[in-house]
Structure 1
Amino acid sequence: MLLKIGIIFALCLTALSSGERVRYDNYRVYKLNASNNEELALLKRMEDTSDSLLFLDGIHRVNRAVKVVVAPHKLHDFLLILDTNKIEYELVEQNLQTALDKDYEQIETRATTSRRWTSYQTLSNTYSWLVSLANSHAANATLIEGGKSYEKRSILGIKISIQNGKKQKPGIFLEAGIHAREWIAPATATYIINELLTSTDEQIKELAENYDWYIFPHANPDGYMYTHSTDRMWRKTRQPYDTCFGADPNRNWNASWNSVGASSNPCSDTFAGSAANSEIEVLSLSNYIDSLKNKIKLYISFHSFSQYLLYPYGNTSALPDNVKDYEQVYNATTKAIGNRYGTVYTGGNIYDAIYPAAGSSVDYAYVNAGIRMAFCFELRPNGAFNGNGMELPAEQIIPTAEETLDGIVAMVNEVKSLGYFD
């Protein structure tokens, strides 16, 4: 009863809007490439000192593409600095608002509990759908709550446990949407929930029947709501910090917190928070994971974009002691992802494959929660996509989800073969 009351309250809050949306008229998106450490340091200073530049990629490696959104009034100075310092750049989007308008047109705004995965859903619709699933599949699906958000929304999830006579089954934990603007992540998570409960495919039925699944499509509900109501490009939570709002919830976990790849500036998109677990979303989810100690054997996190499969660590280039097993699972998973549509995934350990990033959920799962297999999927599109990277057309939701589920089938089978579910 308490959970249902909380859900109703959360759904009511979801309907609130903070007013007009932020507009990005004539904001341009550039792709930059720093060819040496001096150019890299310059880009880093630009990120830290200008609120008219929104960097969409971490600035940590030379010869790696970095996308940046540039405000119109900043354009002249921005290009002058690049030209003066001979930094390579390419215009990939002339007017960001045009792309964002298309995104907003792909939101299913009608209140509905049906799902076809041909549009992006509101938080309210997804929560209503989860409630309806728990009712229609009462024997196998249970609503779970990973805590409350800063704005008192429920972090609502679902536990799938098929009743087949097995008393103790290995647990698999999946969280998505921790970065608010990465809409494809929760969309993919809900598709997988539906497949686990309804698919007649023998491989998927085996996944559903032999494991307990704990799935949270929206680990950052306030931020997701804010991307719909106010600012499509919002990434963080919504807790205020003086004149700025929010922290990066995937830099806030208690795992080498704020040691590298994060910012102490509250206005930064990678602000690590005032302390480890300062964000109630992270604190409550980590407590929930801790309550499942020894039950969870595989941890999965969905992000976008870049088509990477990543594993620990984010704070150091040192590799996990079971890195050979990680490589084996990685190879099987990326191969399976590519089989259906030819989608190419790369990756490896977070620090080297993408960028240093301390305080991530994957590192927390591996280091603190004792979950020996922990992975992050960076879903479509890839880094070569000409756009801001968030704007994945809704017609790609199903293909993205299908190939991701193919990868998870392979991942689970490989993890099983290595004995981690024993």
Structure 2
Amino acid sequence: MLWRVALLTLAALLLTAGKPRHFDSHTVYRVLPTKELHVQFLNEFADEHLHDILFWEDANVANKSADVMVTPRMQSSFVKALKEKSITYSVFIEDVQKLIDKQLPDNVSMGPFGWDVYHTLHDVHAWLNSLPASYPGIVTTVRAGFSFERLEILGVKISYGTGRPIAVIEGTIHAREWISTASVTWFINEILSSTDARVRSIIDQFDFYIFPVTNPDGYEYSWTDDRMWRKTRRPNGPCFGTDGNRNWDHRWSEGGASSDQCREDYAGPKAFSECETKAMSEFLTSLGSDLQVYLSFHNYRQLLIYPYGSSHEVADNAAELHKMAEKAVKALESRYGTHYGFGSVADAIYPATGGSIDWVKGKLGVPYVFLWELRDKGQYGFLLPPDQIIPTSEETFYSVLSILEDVWDALRC
């Protein structure tokens, strides 16, 4: 396998040579493996062509679609192989670079912080640091720790009093999921500025700790070098990074994660091997029993899910979480008609262990834990246009309020 190591090392050097990777004529296919043999074939094909095949949505189980980005040079071979295996497919995105270009307006760093464009890590942190002066006595900045590259894992605490239950909001474990960062910052602004009586009646009952970017190295890299980067940035053999949402110490690497250092879902050499996941876990532990709610934001699939990612484990209050999720997706849909599915991780997506919400639920015992897979269902995938930031955030906030209302009612009983 020396050739593979050499190839990967060369590719890494090229990617870090100061010029962002381009995805001209890269095509995203939606494929439907109807047999376990199809799933096995897709993963083996991807392993054999590591720099030409990139899963946007993994092929883990039969009869659930997977989204696969393919380089121009590999497209004819990929389509031919699908036809030979009788695997159904369709083209979802013809040219990935065209969508990337639409996400990156020339004036992205100009003007006040807002939600008509996506923002760099520098701009997000600058905005967070400006909030205490704008909301004295209500907002303080908090630092959960540092990343591998010594960037801050920066967030804010929002508090309207003492002795309130704590809700934590986590954004952007996966670097390329920019709508997560954008929506979480929108939530911060809405929590602070809304004058709506319903919003205020529930928001004021909680202390919030909100972290828009929990993988700062990866997020920064997705801006400067590789828009489709997912993982952290610590070197692992010939490759870089670990999937931060497979690295938590709850049923670590039992399923839905890879031991291959170069795969997108690499779980790391051990649980909490990453500076980012270790720092976040220690910060969350320090909050103690007041931590009652944990909300995590990803994209894409339009799902609202709750623990667990293991098919062998059921949350102790699964029926309650299911009922809350069902109500929340109806609230979300009421804004713009956007339909979300819901259920446990294992049931709604596929078995996947080592995720943050499973650890928060299973190890810390936090009762109310949810994860959103935000817009869309694949038309844009990770490359949601900037004009969808506000509507995505608005509708999602309806579902957040629904859950917080249910939590508050439960805690008062």
Match of 1:286 in 2: 281
Question: C-alpha displacement at 1:351, in angstroms?
Answer: 0.7
Amino acid at match of 2:71: A
Match of 2:403 in 1: 411
Match of 2:4 in 1: none
Question: C-alpha displacement at 1:18, in angstroms?
Answer: 6.3
Contact 2:167–2:209 under 8 Å retained in 1: yes
Deviations 1:148-199 (CA, angstroms, capped at 9, x unpaired): 0111000000000013xxx310000000011000000010101110111111
Match of 2:74 in 1: 74
Deviations 1:248-284 (CA, angstroms, capped at 9, x unpaired): 0000011110110000111100000111000100000
Question: C-alpha displacement at 1:398, in angstroms?
Answer: 0.6
Question: C-alpha displacement at 1:89, in angstroms?
Answer: 1.1
1:26 lines up with 2:18 in the alignment: no
Structure 2 CA distance for aligned equivalents of residues 240 and 361 of structure 1: 22
Contact 2:326–2:342 under 8 Å retained in 1: no
1:162 lines up with 2:160 in the alignment: yes
Match of 2:60 in 1: 60
Question: Residues 230 and 298 (structure 1 numbering): CA distance in 2 closer, same or farther, change over 3 Å?
Answer: same
Question: C-alpha displacement at 1:87, in angstroms?
Answer: 0.8
Question: Residues 265 and 308 (structure 1 numbering): CA distance in 2 closer, same or farther, change over 3 Å?
Answer: same
Match of 2:348 in 1: 353
Is the partner of 1:210 in helix, strand or coil? coil
1:397 lines up with 2:389 in the alignment: yes
Question: C-alpha displacement at 1:317, in angstroms?
Answer: 4.6
Structure 2 CA distance for aligned equivalents of residues 347 and 32 of structure 1: 22
Match of 2:332 in 1: 337
Structure 1 CA distance for aligned equivalents of residues 365 and 213 of structure 2: 23
1:127 lines up with 2:125 in the alignment: yes
Contact 2:246–2:266 under 8 Å retained in 1: yes
Structure 1 CA distance for aligned equivalents of residues 226 and 62 of structure 2: 30
Question: Residues 26 and 189 (structure 1 numbering): CA distance in 2 closer, same or farther, change over 3 Å?
Answer: same
Match of 1:251 in 2: 246
Structure 2 CA distance for aligned equivalents of residues 364 and 37 of structure 1: 29
- Percent of pairs with identical residues: 37
Structure 2 CA distance for aligned equivalents of residues 53 and 371 of structure 1: 38
Deviations 1:192-235 (CA, angstroms, capped at 9, x unpaired): 10111111011221233211000000000111111111100000
Moved more, 184-193 or 203-212: 203-212
RMSD after superposition: 1.5
Match of 1:13 in 2: none
Match runs of 1:310-389 below 5 Å: 310-382=305-377, 385-387=378-380, 389=381
Contact 1:332–1:414 under 8 Å retained in 2: no
Contact 2:305–2:345 under 8 Å retained in 1: yes
Match of 2:149 in 1: 151
Contact 2:245–2:356 under 8 Å retained in 1: yes
Is the partner of 1:253 in helix, strand or coil? coil
Deviations 1:60-79 (CA, angstroms, capped at 9, x unpaired): 22222211011122223212
Structure 1 CA distance for aligned equivalents of residues 158 and 190 of structure 2: 11
Match runs of 1:41-60 below 5 Å: 41-51=40-50, 52-60=52-60
Contact 1:160–1:208 under 8 Å retained in 2: no
Match of 1:11 in 2: none
Question: C-alpha displacement at 1:319, in angstroms?
Answer: 1.9
Amino acid at match of 1:259: E
TM-score by length of 2: 0.93
Structure 1 CA distance for aligned equivalents of residues 318 and 405 of structure 2: 17
Pick one of 263, 268, 272 that aligns with 1:268: 263
Deviations 1:308-350 (CA, angstroms, capped at 9, x unpaired): 0000101225321211111111111111101110111102000
1:104 lines up with 2:104 in the alignment: yes
Question: Residues 107 and 323 (structure 1 numbering): CA distance in 2 closer, same or farther, change over 3 Å?
Answer: farther
Structure 2 CA distance for aligned equivalents of residues 153 and 202 of structure 1: 38
Amino acid at match of 1:386: Q
Moved more, 183-192 or 78-87: 78-87
Structure 2's unaligned 5+ residue stretches are 1-15
Structure 2 CA distance for aligned equivalents of residues 35 and 94 of structure 1: 24
Structure 1's unaligned 5+ residue stretches are 1-16
TM-score by length of 1: 0.91
Contact 2:165–2:292 under 8 Å retained in 1: yes
